[in-house]
Amino acid sequence: MNLGPYTLFDIDGQNVEAQFEISVISFEIREPLNHTLTSIYQPLQEKTIVTCKEHNDTQVKLLFESKVEIEREISQGYDGSKTLTQLDYIKNTLKHFRNWYKNQGLEFPDSNAYIQQLERKPKYQEYEELFNRFFSDSNANPDEVKRILNDKTRWKNPSAYLREARRKAELTVSKLKAHPCFIWIDPKGTAKD
């Protein structure tokens, strides 16, 4: 899941001279709408609305992906207040982008089409993404990591998925086991690289 920050590109023509505006939307749990928005202005140079749209399309896709991932966690019972706050942040950020598209007279990207495309990911790819996310998060709870990655109802053969994800990341068993989130793997010390 990507909690940003997300950047919304726009061209601000309110001043005498048009400027390129980058609005940085950052997750901030202590703020009323769970985010902060900071605008940075730069000379326009060669940037156009097309430039902004291409960038914003990419950001919206990342937001859709995060929204799907958070909603999947919630549907699996991981709906703590932090997860719900993260979803609220993603939805509020999407609203900033939706408003930009509306103000430009552009069609907002079709979330259903993109979500269907995301949901068609092969299981091994979904597993690898979770593995990589947990590996990059040294604060992840090892019990939660184990529960999710070893879920036999979700994954046909969790140990095979783990082996392939580890190999793809070019990690030895001992290197992976040294990571705080993966201390639970290979308790008998019999795994082979």
Residue 148 burial class via C-beta count within 10 angstroms: exposed 0-12, middle 13-18, buried 19 and up: buried
Query: 3-state class of 135 per DSSP?
Result: helix
> Nearest to residue 20, comparing CAs of 47, 2, 57, 55?
47
pLDDT in tens, 84-110: 889 999 999 999 999 999 999 999 987
In the 8-state DSSP scheme, what is residue 7?
Answer: E
pLDDT in tens, 102-155: 999 999 987 776 666 666 677 888 899 889 988 888 778 888 889 889 888 778
Flag whether the pTM goes above 0.85. Answer: no
Largest CA distance in the chain: 70
Confirm if 20 and 41 have CB atoms less than 8 A apart.
yes
pLDDT in tens, 31-82: 888 899 999 988 888 888 999 999 999 899 889 888 888 888 888 777 778 8
Asked if the model's pLDDT at residue 191 lies above 90, the reply is no
Cα separation of 51 and 46, whole Å? 9
